[in-house]
Structure 1
Amino acid sequence: MLDVDQAQGKAIYHEAIVGYAIPEARRSVPTMIIGDTALVGSVEIPRRLPGLIETLLARGGSDWPPLPGLADLLAAVPTSAPAALLPSATAETLPFLRDLPANALAVVVLIGMLLTVMWAGITWSRLGKPLTCRRDRSIPLLAIGGMAVAAYLTFIETTGAPAICGPVGDCQTVQQSEFAQLFGIIPVGAAGVAGYGTILIVWIVAHLLPGTSSKRAALLLPVLALIGTL
């Protein structure tokens, strides 16, 4: 395993990019090179690796990739570690602490989603009370903002482009995981675009239709918000 944070590992990874013509959109971690094939991402690697292993075994196996500097790095790796250096199970870092800022932010978001569900329930119980003008106008703005974010996530998932989510966390890991798609088929961002688009359409209909039809359309808004949060 190469540590791209180290100078030697970074140099070898650069050689792999050049030697295997890895496009910029696929330059991410984890990356595995086996035979003459470069695999990228926690979705592609498990999907294609078993077949590649069978093919290479049928050919008699495969050597290490011919990357400059790799042989020197392998020679410096000890074949076995002393028992005293093996980490104990009790010293293992908790998963939550491996990326504390990102995981803490995730907890805050989950709490916010829970509060949103509760607020949607309260709103549902007060259907007879009209929304204030300020809150009413915030609905399409939030829907448009949500559609923009969801559309970006859909673009990342469908094109394989590197995701940008700021200084906190490794968002590329999520986009390359099984959580990036619903039922293994639908990009989760596309579902978000559809959900926010539906909310926006219902809001517009509620303001265009007269009388009872308008009220019925407005009743769908808290339901859609609840479904989207869940």
Structure 2
Amino acid sequence: MQNALMLVVTLLLALSLPGGVKASPEPGELPVVHAVLFYSPGCPYCSEVMNDTLPPLQEQYQSQLSILLVELATLKDIDNLYSLGATFGLTKEQVAVPFLLIDQTPLIGADEINTKLAGLVKQYLATGGLDTPDIPLLNEMSTNGIDFTAYDPTQPTATQVQPVANSTGMSMAWVIMVFMLLALIISIILILRAFQGKPVPPLKKWLEISIPVLSLIGLGAAIYLTYVEITHTRAMCGPVGDCNTVQSSPYAKLFGLIPIGLVGAVGYIAILVAWLWRRTRHDSFSRIAGPVMFGMALFGTLFSVYLTYLELFVIHAVCIWCLTSAVIITVLMLLSLPQITQWLAIADEEDQSVE
């Protein structure tokens, strides 16, 4: 009877322990804490954790700390992470990388991992170690993981060593990058010529009308990207590029808060307002609306160069919607050259007459 009672008590104690906690290590066996880190290629915060935070902890605890690295290489991986987060009561908006799971505690973001992980490792080692939580989805996602001790930051990730899924998208991005750079060079040359009294002639009527048409197309693309970024839905990308990889990267939001698509939408609306003001009003702002429109298009082009660089060299994926917007804003910059060069030429003539 006493042995049966002891067995029942032991079983109750075992069931009362958290999912991944060991009751105690075997005699002579050192306790081990297991954790899983999910990361994505091109994520600077993931690199911070993997290159700065984890190495000192691994050096300190050696074989007593086992961290499995799992790369989110596909859209399915990202959807699985959202589902895993949901098991801990997290919404899609709350799930981000780096995402570290230790027992039933998800640590999200470099700051939280930096401040909490060391204390949790020490706590679980003191209580006998910690196994990886037995969650079916976690087990499935961990099959392609590697131990942190095998991680080499100088080597490309699994995603980076794979051939580009769609070389057409990358080739198109290179062509558009060259186009934007050439457009910037041409703009500089024409602006310098304006100071010599040689402005660009006014646009023909059909080219003038193309400005609001292109702005509306760009606005539509920007609104769609904003919708994708806010709702975390799958983007319709067609046969070119991998929009969902781009939109799920940390670079899809400005300062980690504002969707890039929303920034583009505001820019296109501002260009439309400037164009309409210049065409319908006759006040002091209407005289500078053209140069203002060029300035906004110039900023958008420079920003598109930066974003395309990220797609080519950091994210290693391209978004057809982003490339479309890049072409549109660059063309708008070129179409705004007559206004800025004529304004500069007139201003230069006025300065010379004053002298």
Question: Which of the five TM-score ranges fits, normalised by the shorter chain?
Answer: 0.5 to 0.7
Matched, 1:64 2:136: no
- The 8 Å contact of residues 123 and 222 in structure 1, kept in 2 or not, is answered as no
CA distance in 1, matches of 2:234, 2:141: 31
Distance of aligned partners of 1:109 and 1:52 in 2 relative to their CA distance in 1, 3 Å threshold: farther
One of 70, 89, 108 as aligned partner of 2:175? 108
CA distance in 2, matches of 1:131, 1:37: 62
CA distance in 2, matches of 1:199, 1:192: 11
* TM-score, scaled relative to structure 1: 0.64
1:46-80 CA-partner distances (Å, limit 9, x unpaired): 454334524532540642121248779989x999x
1:73-109 CA-partner distances (Å, limit 9, x unpaired): 989x999xxxxxxxxx999999597426243332222
Report the equivalent of 1:162: 233
Q: Which amino acid aligns with 1:145?
A: I
Alignment of structure 1 residues 170-181 onto 2, 5 Å: 170-181=242-253
Report the equivalent of 1:204: 276
- The 8 Å contact of residues 15 and 67 in structure 1, kept in 2 or not, is answered as no
Return the offset for 1:156. 3.6
CA distance in 1, matches of 2:293, 2:82: 51
CA distance in 2, matches of 1:145, 1:217: 21
Return the offset for 1:131. 0.8
Return the offset for 1:27. 9.2
CA distance in 1, matches of 2:98, 2:118: 21
Return the offset for 1:199. 1.0
Report the equivalent of 1:83: none
CA distance in 1, matches of 2:253, 2:228: 12
- The 8 Å contact of residues 96 and 103 in structure 1, kept in 2 or not, is answered as no
Distance of aligned partners of 1:60 and 1:224 in 2 relative to their CA distance in 1, 3 Å threshold: same
Return the offset for 1:152. 2.9
Q: Which amino acid aligns with 2:183?
A: T
One of 197, 204, 219 as aligned partner of 1:132? 204
- The 8 Å contact of residues 254 and 260 in structure 2, kept in 1 or not, is answered as yes
CA distance in 1, matches of 2:246, 2:113: 20
Matched, 1:145 2:217: yes
CA distance in 2, matches of 1:66, 1:91: 30
Q: Which amino acid aligns with 1:109?
A: I
**Identical residues among aligned pairs (%):** 27
Q: Which amino acid aligns with 2:235?
A: I
**Aligned partner of residue 107 in structure 1, secondary structure:** helix
Return the offset for 1:135. 1.0
Stretches of structure 1 that go unaligned for 5 or more consecutive residues are 80-88
In the comparison of the two structures, how many residue pairs are matched?
A: 215
**Aligned partner of residue 131 in structure 1, secondary structure:** coil
Report the equivalent of 1:50: 114
* TM-score, scaled relative to structure 2: 0.45
Stretches of structure 2 that go unaligned for 5 or more consecutive residues are 1-68, 148-153, 303-355
What's the C-alpha RMSD, in Å, of the aligned pairs?
Answer: 4.8
Distance of aligned partners of 1:191 and 1:127 in 2 relative to their CA distance in 1, 3 Å threshold: farther
Distance of aligned partners of 1:18 and 1:156 in 2 relative to their CA distance in 1, 3 Å threshold: closer
Range moving further from structure 2, 134-143 or 160-169: 160-169
Distance of aligned partners of 1:109 and 1:37 in 2 relative to their CA distance in 1, 3 Å threshold: farther
